Amino acid sequence: MQSSWHDIGFEAACGHCLGYGDFGAVVKPFAYLRDGLFLVCCSLYALNRWAIRPHTHNLFLRFHFNDMLLIPCALPVLLWMQRGLRLRTNDQPPTWNEIALYTVFWSILFEVIGPHLLKRATGDPWDAVVYFVGGIGAGVWWNRHKLFSQRATHEL
């Protein structure tokens, strides 16, 4: 039987040593278009768009719910395309920087620039707020393994 010390030395030599107290939660590759959050949020978007919104007077469901789903529905598609074009070099869950970058970009595009280009579009600052809320929620979900393993490590 090969010694576990050999494995630790090999990991350290390769730069993969996780360090003392780090349980090294294994993070599965990001599933992109098969990601659970992506699939649930796209289903919720369709359900709200065609079944709920036409029959409700609830202002949040009519004007902001689908906007809150922008990041969990659109970012996996964009990152999948970037991965296919080799512009994204890993299959990790979306990083906080990626989430923030595209949330800011889409907020400016849809709420500032879009209304000047399309007659039917209107800029609503509350839409940008719910983009960020959805982005934060998606980021917590996609990075939950890292967040909770770091928390557990710091509590030891």
Q: What is the DSSP string of 23-89?
A: -----PPP-GGG-HHHHHHHHHHHHIIIIIGGG---HHHHHTHHHHTHHHHHHHHHHHHHHHTTSS-
CA atoms within 13 A on the CB side of 62: 6
Q: Which of 11-25, 81-95, 106-120 has the lowest mean pLDDT?
A: 11-25
| pLDDT tens profile 67-112 | 999 999 999 999 999 999 999 999 999 999 999 999 999 999 999 9
pLDDT value, residue 156: 56
Structure tokens at 94: 């979306």
Residue range 100-125: average pLDDT? 96
Residues near 82 by Cβ (< 8 Å), separated by ≥ 6? 88
